[in-house]
Chains A and B, each alone.
Chain A
Amino acid sequence: MIRYILGRLLGIALVLLVVSIVIFLLMHAIPGGPFDEAKMPLPAAAKANILRKYGLDKPLYEQYARYMWAALHGDFGTPFQSPTESVTGLIARTWPVSFKLGMVTLAFALPLGMFAGVLAATRQNTWIDYTATFLSSLGLTIPNFVIAVWLMLLFAVHWKILPTGGWGHWYNYIMPAISLGLAPMALTARYTRTSLLEVKRADYVRTARAKGLSSNQVLWRHSMKNALIPLITILGPQIPNLITGTIFVESIFRIPGLGKFFVTSIFRRDYPMIMGTLLLVALVWSIVYLITDLLYMVVDPRVRLDKKSS
């Protein structure tokens, strides 16, 4: 077990190394630089100055080597967008905000989604099932900021019971969490339903029924536990998405989170921030995958470690 985890951690380090190279090459391949003039051509000399100032005049491999050397010493550079702080400082300031919002979102979206899924599965092929299924597909399709804008219009403009945005009070979570939570909720509902139905037909459930257990008992004691496996698979990837924030919802509700930096960093060609944010995401994903795999083991002893990810 410990050997397995250590092996996986080593794998993660390797993945991060490869990711760093890939991202470094990709981001420098994007046309335009961090300080291109927007209105008029920049004199060649001024352009050269800018490149020199930020070390972008060096060959790529040298830039990469410098970056990695500094990163290994804990220095991830200075964001071009916010030169008075460091990349790590900026992430330390904004990530907890997004993280908290993501956790709150999950805390209501998961149970509700599972509830809806159970409801649909136990009433398979009734109108409840169809409605729940259709609504969850819709929930996956409507972009979260469309939901965000409508919530704002209803709660803040029409009913005037919430401010349009801001951060620091409990009520600031309400609208963003709903906007962010509908999609994972829908996803949870759909997968809970599918896997419950699958498990329901499995031999051991039928046996349990035959032994005279009530359908509720069967549902909770046997079905739910096995239905959790696909749920873990499907929700795993939702978690990094949620806890690293999203640009639209955060900017609409004035939440000082990390979300917008994923997009603004690319749009501004803020190389240190692109590296910083994407490495962070890669790390979070890797860890989530590791935890997912460990959870499989807990939930389903049949899963053998050596086979999951040799």
Chain B
Amino acid sequence: MSATTIHPEETPTMRTNLRHRSLLSDALRRFSHNKLAMFGLTIVALLVFAAIFANLIAPFPYDEANVTEALQFPSGAHWMGTDEVGRDVYSRIIYGARISLLVGLSSQLIALMIGVPLGLAAGLMGGKVDWLVMRLVEVMTSLPALMIALLLIAIFGGGLVNVIVAIGLVAWLDACRLLRGQLLSLRERDFVLAARTIGVRNRRIAVRHLLPNAIAPLIVAITIGVPTAIFTEAGLSFLGLGVNDPVPSWGKMVGDALPYMRVYWYLGVFPTLAIALTMLGFTFMGDGLRDAFDTAGSK
């Protein structure tokens, strides 16, 4: 259940004598010409839309149970049927977008808050700091993320907040590794060497030159980290260790649907599709962003 999205090491060949603004507009142009990326963006936009306006879109509250209408197959009244206690599946899926985005974005935020300072420290300071950070990364990577999250939740209990924190605590590795790798490879580049030879100090180099160049891959990493986090949440909730009912988590919906799947297939199919589409959207968008920022392939 752990779809580890470790990103291939970036090999940026950006020419930094270009103005950042033109770089950005170039990237946007390339992005908007990429059909798959636009498709991904559309899905993500729909997701955000559903999350924000869930209470307007959803025909029913996500937690309104009516046992006399339990386990109804999809119909005009309930487009995606009703679950085992008579809740409208379609409404729960719409509200589920909120949970998924919340989990995906906030856990990535936590991951960045840990990963960026550590990556910066390792990449800029090098030496003992780098060694220490890399050992920490190694310890964390040598254990499956889901297992660590599982242990953390076993200790601190489930619930939405704990799940987000647990995922964030195991998701910072990518950001850290990526940033460090970027910094290391950029340090050897001509423009940095040039800056250094004319006497610019390390910190200035970092702020003026290194960070802007590292941001693009970081954005890509986040885009790809979001669906991973959503998927991990789904996995934990699926195992019964995630969010509590009636919070409409797609993962929990799939987990709860399992005992009913052989007959009431729709209970599992729709949330599975929702997870798949979300992952697809973020992945395409991430791929598109990477292509757009990566000028190596520019025609």
| A interface residue numbers (CB < 8 A to B) | 11, 14-16, 18-19, 22-23, 26-27, 29-31, 125, 133-134, 137-138, 140-144, 146, 149, 153, 183, 187, 190-191, 194-195, 198, 201-202, 229-230, 233-234, 236-238, 240-241, 262, 266, 278, 281-283, 285-286, 289, 307, 309-310
Contacts and interface: CB of A to CB of B under 8 A. Distances in A.
B280 interface: yes
17 contacts: A15-B135, A15-B139, A23-B143, A29-B155, A30-B151, A137-B283, A141-B276, A153-B262, A229-B8, A234-B5, A234-B6, A237-B4, A237-B6, A240-B144, A289-B138, A307-B185, A310-B130
B3 to A, nearest CB: 5
Contact of B8 (A144, A230, A282): A230
Contacts of B155: 26, 29-31
Interface in B134-179: 134-135, 138-139, 141-144, 147, 150-152, 154-155
Contacts of B154: 30-31, 266
Interface string B181-203: 00011000000000000000000
A143 B254 contact: yes
Contact of B272 (A142, A240, A281): A142
For the complex of A and B, the 3 pairs showing the least CB-CB separation, nearest first, are A230-B8, A201-B297, A141-B276
Contacts of B142: 15-16, 19, 281-283, 285-286, 289
A138 to B, nearest CB: 5
B81 interface: no
Contacts of A29: 155
B275 interface: yes
Contacts of B2: 241
Contacts, number: 119
Contacts of A198: 291, 294, 297
B261 interface: yes
A18 B280 contact: no
B147 A278 contact: yes
A309 B134 contact: yes
Given A285-B142, A286-B138, A138 B258 contact: no
Contacts of A237: 4, 6
Contacts of A278: 143, 147
Nearest to A190: B283
B279 A141 contact: yes
A175 to B, nearest CB: 17
A285 B141 contact: yes
A274 B7 CA distance: 30
A269 B106 CA distance: 31
Contacts of A202: 296-297
B134 A310 contact: yes
B188 to A, nearest CB: 9
